[in-house]
Structure 1
């Protein structure tokens, strides 16, 4: 099944995680506080999810809304605590005031990952130059995914950018997998799959009741079946 598209689902707690795995998710992104667009979850929540499912978990490293890193020492401590508890995959994305990747912050955290795989998230959609950002990050160990909508306004606005970037996967800075998320809908899938995109990220789409309700296994299964078809 190695050619099967990856489906990543946002999980806020163990109930979400169990439902997402039951629906066919391949991986979970663990966050808290979606009102702030997703922050690092408490250690206890990570441990509960870790014990509840057996699919890979990518943990968000972020302590405040926005794309500034803030206090990097605080972020480093969170990574160390999570690593000690068994976390082995991460998600982050920080920009400096000029809209470029905050290499000081990112490199410090990547050093703490000790080779773990990680995603640079939708900060790329706010970057002043997507191509430059990719080249600045190209040599960092463990970077295997960009989570992107192609635009800060979501997949509808970013579709052409995503398709263009997918065609460059053999070029420097474009080797990491494109994982599409941010306003993604089922009707986007045919064009993205045809362009060679093979990873997809859903949050609200897995929750028919909105963010106040849990992940619904049937909603996840609808995505799984669409991708496998």
Structure 2
């Protein structure tokens, strides 16, 4: 029996969080403004969600659209505010203009997290060299997960990359859990599970009526069922 897969669901507010937990989500990624692919939420939203559910919540640290860090001092202040509000897990990742990891910015923000666990997000799918990025961030404190679709275009195109990277788990730079998300569909799951991937991230798939509507507990439950069967 393979171990229970992690199901992470994007939440925008407490209503989403409650529905996601009811449907069987293991963890939430908390963001705002999906038109910009997910930015840092407000402190009050973080507090409301932490009060509403008891599953782990990873808070996005990203102030503007794109993968540049922007104002790093403001990012660090934001990270500290989130820590003060009780946030214990985070999501971040920054690239420079050449598509390499902006290691200075990442290190500064991670330094404000007090060793909290965090995910390097889909900036990796836009990187000039995925392998180099993985090896550059591997020793950063708290990094335990890499959110990726294998391609900037999504899982359909990135599947071969995901399967190849899953086969390298344990090699230098490949010790973090692979969390697959970005155009992920239920029909992708069997191949990913067969390759040993055991963490899945859904946003739109948890909202059959679109981003204007809340998370559907029933949609999350369907994912939970498929993952548990795998």
TM-score, with structure 2 as normaliser: 0.98
> How do 1:29-68 residues align onto structure 2 when only pairs under 5 Å count?
29-68=29-68
What's 1:25 paired with? Answer: 25
Q: Any idea what the Cα deviations from partners look like across 1:173-209, whole Å, max 9, x if unmatched?
A: 0000000000000000000000000000000000011
The answer to whether structure 1 residue 74 and structure 2 residue 85 are counterparts is no
> Structure 1: any 5+ residue segments left out of the alignment?
none
Q: Secondary structure of the equivalent of 1:113?
A: coil
> How do 1:44-193 residues align onto structure 2 when only pairs under 5 Å count?
44-193=44-193
> Structure 2: any 5+ residue segments left out of the alignment?
none
The answer to whether structure 1 residue 219 and structure 2 residue 219 are counterparts is yes
Q: Any idea what the Cα deviations from partners look like across 1:110-140, whole Å, max 9, x if unmatched?
A: 1111110000000000000000000110110
* Separation (CA, whole Å) in 2 of partners of 1:100 and 1:53: 37
Structure 1 residues 187, 49: CA separation in 2 closer, same or farther (over 3 Å shift)?
A: same
Q: Secondary structure of the equivalent of 2:45?
A: helix
Q: Secondary structure of the equivalent of 2:112?
A: helix
TM-score, with structure 1 as normaliser: 0.99
Structure 1 residues 161, 206: CA separation in 2 closer, same or farther (over 3 Å shift)?
A: same
* Separation (CA, whole Å) in 2 of partners of 1:217 and 1:49: 16
How many pairs were matched up?
Answer: 229
* Separation (CA, whole Å) in 1 of partners of 2:107 and 2:99: 17
* Separation (CA, whole Å) in 1 of partners of 2:191 and 2:168: 16
* C-alpha displacement of 1:2: 9.3
Q: Any idea what the Cα deviations from partners look like across 1:34-90, whole Å, max 9, x if unmatched?
A: 001000001111110010000000000000000000000111111111101110100
The answer to whether structure 1 residue 13 and structure 2 residue 17 are counterparts is no
Q: Secondary structure of the equivalent of 2:215?
A: coil
Q: Secondary structure of the equivalent of 1:145?
A: strand
* Separation (CA, whole Å) in 2 of partners of 1:221 and 1:115: 32
* Separation (CA, whole Å) in 2 of partners of 1:87 and 1:112: 12
